Amino acid sequence: MNTIVVKNYDEMAKKGAEILYQDISSNPKITLGLATGGTQIGVYTHLRKLHENTPLDLKDITTFNLDEYIGLAPESDNSYHFYMNKYFFQPMGISKKQTYLPNGLAEDIAEECKRYEKLIVEHGGIDIQVLGVGSNGHIGFNEPKTSFHCRTHEVNLAESTIQANARYFDSIEDVPKKAISMGIETIMEAKKIILFASGSKKAKAIYQLLRTDEIDADWPVTILKTHPNVTIVVDEAAYNSDDNNQHLNLENSRTIF
């Protein structure tokens, strides 16, 4: 596990964009697994700037998103379809035919989950999976106590996740209570995983990931310890808690300040 610690959110976003830029540049037919949320906005913004300065060949890349709310239309400004079009697909000039997201309006959610899994397999799996992490340790929308062996599935969102996402909606009552998410086993099959974390609210999850060898279903993010190719890009606020400073073993990590 390679850990990169930077000063603040903007530095995290810049470093993340540089890593993604290099990965895409080295494999023009790459399949990206993409995440949404506030943490990723800066990463995608800086990636666009790098692309504008020295354009990438994007005509053959493919993208799969981690998740989508159930019940939101793609054109809803709180859907992840809308988010991806705004922050990634349109600014990067990526055709919609190259992109895949779960259909949150599917009549049969179970069948939609199977369809999405099949599409990932048909495209040869995910080369690079981008992840954020929730304050409760969720990855994708895989909440605490989710089976490490689950595939793409319907999720009942934890109250803490609903509270965290309420800032994007007019009221907390408007936040969807369910979502479709890639499962943990699906995520772990990616050839490489890059996790971004910023801010003190993520410190406990980062502590759980880095402090010991324990794999704990109460903290889904800890399963990443078992993946052979993980890079964590984290700012000081998420990294520097008293517990982290006392317990982190950085023998296999790289730290940048």
* 103: annotated active-site residue: no
Q: From CA 97, how far away is CA 116, in angstroms rounded?
A: 15
Q: Nearest 5°: phi and psi at 70? A: -85, 130
Q: From CA 225, how far away is CA 137, in angstroms rounded?
A: 13
Q: Which of 143, 165, 235, 244 is catalytic?
A: 143
CB 140 within 8 A of CB 224: no
* 138: annotated active-site residue: yes
Find the DSSP H helices in 166-252: 184-188, 203-210, 236-239, 242-247
Q: Which of 51, 81, 138, 153 is catalytic?
A: 138
**Residue 70 neighbours by CB under 8 Å, 6+ apart:** 104, 109, 154, 176, 178, 179, 180
Q: Which of 11, 67, 112, 127 is catalytic?
A: 67
Q: From CA 40, how far away is CA 82, in angstroms rounded?
A: 14
Identify the bridge partners of residue 179 per DSSP, sorted by sequence position: 69, 155
* 136: annotated active-site residue: yes
Angle formed by the axes of helices 9-26 and 38-53, to 10°?
Answer: 50
Q: How many CB atoms lie within 10 A of CB 108?
A: 9
Q: From CA 132, how far away is CA 152, in angstroms rounded?
A: 17
Q: Which of 65, 136, 142, 244 is catalytic?
A: 136
Give catalytic residues, as residue numbers.
67, 136, 138, 143
